[in-house]
């Protein structure tokens, strides 16, 4: 359980090798944090040493976002091993190659399954645990790409749009339970996943997203944008006439 200062004692990162996720965990960790769990498809690739300090357990464990049949038991095992989770950061997902996704139905379905169905599955299991324990904060990383889906990456964007809508409804369903959901909508972030892609205006860094996330949790926000200016840009973007919007190719 969080201490009197609102500092998390147990933090779980779903997507344990995510640059964004790790930056958020690093920002949220404090001397009060006694356990950090990095859950990844390849636990050996998780940077456990980044978070180690005296008096803190840092473990990397196996987690597959696509294996939805394992998610309920995965959350139960976390509780058995580490106690009630205070903050769970949902940061796994795939970007994919838009050209390949447009022509390969199997690849498109696989990406949508991980980004949306897998996230819905594990978030539901986490929310069930939060209701049982009476506290907990779920951080869901979506994307501005889901705010209005562009032709340039419509498979990815649609999966994030679906996840964002789900997370909004899930957060509303938790009202009054002591638990909550924070939706984080980053723009283009310089990470391993985006390496080699042309950076658009207002590109940002994991540290900026992490700071916005920490501030959002502290202030009890429902949704945060990173960087914040994107909130105002998309007020305009979402209302552009379709004939103009479909000409935007990046």
List, for residues 13-40, the tens digit of each pLDDT value.
999 999 999 999 999 999 999 999 999 9
**What is the pLDDT at residue 232?**
82
Q: Is the pLDDT of residue 79 over 50?
A: yes
List Cα–Cα distances, 116 to 113, 198, 227, in angstroms. Answer: 6, 25, 23
**What is the pLDDT at residue 4?**
42
Active site residue 154: no
Residues 6+ apart with CB under 8 A from 104: none
* Backbone dihedral region for residue 115 (phi beyond 0: left; psi -120 to 50: alpha; all else: beta): alpha
Domain ranges of the chain: 10-245
What is the Cβ-side half-sphere exposure of residue 45, based on CA atoms within 13 angstroms?
11
Q: Is the pLDDT of residue 1 over 60?
A: no
**What is the pLDDT at residue 32?**
94
Average pLDDT, the chain: 91
What whole-number distance in Å separates Cα of residue 129 and Cα of residue 182? 17
Q: What is the mean pLDDT of residues 124-153?
A: 93
**What is the pLDDT at residue 229?**
86
Q: What is the mean pLDDT of residues 192-205?
A: 73
Are 33 and 7 spatial neighbours (Cβ–Cβ below 8 Å)? yes
Burial class (CB in 10 A: 0-12, 13-18, 19+), 195: exposed
pTM of the model: 0.92
Q: Is the pLDDT of residue 211 over 50?
A: yes
Give the 3-state secondary structure percentages of the chain, helix then strand then coil, rounded to 5.
Answer: 45, 15, 35
Q: What is the mean pLDDT of residues 113-129?
A: 98
φ, ψ (nearest 5 deg) of residue 177: -95, -10
Q: What is the separation, in whole angstroms, between the first and last Cα of the chain?
A: 43
The dihedral sign for the CA sequence 3, 16, 49, 25: negative
**What is the pLDDT at residue 228?**
84
Q: Which CATH architecture has domain 10-245?
A: 3-Layer(aba) Sandwich (3.40)
């Amino acid at each position: 359980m969080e201490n009197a200062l609102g500092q998390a004692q147990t933090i779980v990162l779903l997507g344990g090798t995510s640059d964004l996720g790790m930056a958020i965990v690093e920002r949220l960790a404090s001397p009060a944090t006694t356990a950090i769990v990095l859950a990844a498809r390849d636990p050996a690739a998780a940077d456990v040493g980044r978070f180690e300090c005296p008096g803190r357990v840092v473990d990397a464990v196996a987690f597959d976002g696509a294996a939805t049949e394992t998610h309920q038991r995965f959350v139960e095992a976390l509780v058995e091993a580490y106690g009630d989770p205070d903050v769970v950061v949902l940061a796994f997902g795939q970007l994919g190659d838009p050209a390949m996704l447009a022509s390969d139905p199997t690849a498109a379905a696989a990406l949508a399954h991980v980004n949306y169905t897998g996230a819905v599955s594990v978030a539901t299991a986490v929310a069930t645990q939060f209701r049982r324990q009476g506290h907990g904060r779920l951080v869901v990383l979506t994307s501005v790409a889901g705010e209005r889906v562009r032709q340039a990456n419509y498979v990815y964007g649609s999966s994030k749009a679906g996840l964002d809508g789900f997370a909004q409804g899930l957060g509303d369903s938790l009202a009054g339970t002591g638990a909550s959901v924070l939706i984080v909508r980053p723009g283009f972030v310089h990470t391993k996943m985006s390496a080699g892609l042309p950076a658009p205006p207002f590109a940002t860094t994991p540290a900026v997203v992490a700071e916005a996330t920490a501030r959002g949790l502290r202030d009890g926000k429902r949704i945060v944008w990173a960087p914040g200016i994107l909130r105002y840009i998309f007020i305009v973007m979402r209302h552009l006439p379709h004939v103009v919007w479909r000409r935007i190719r990046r």
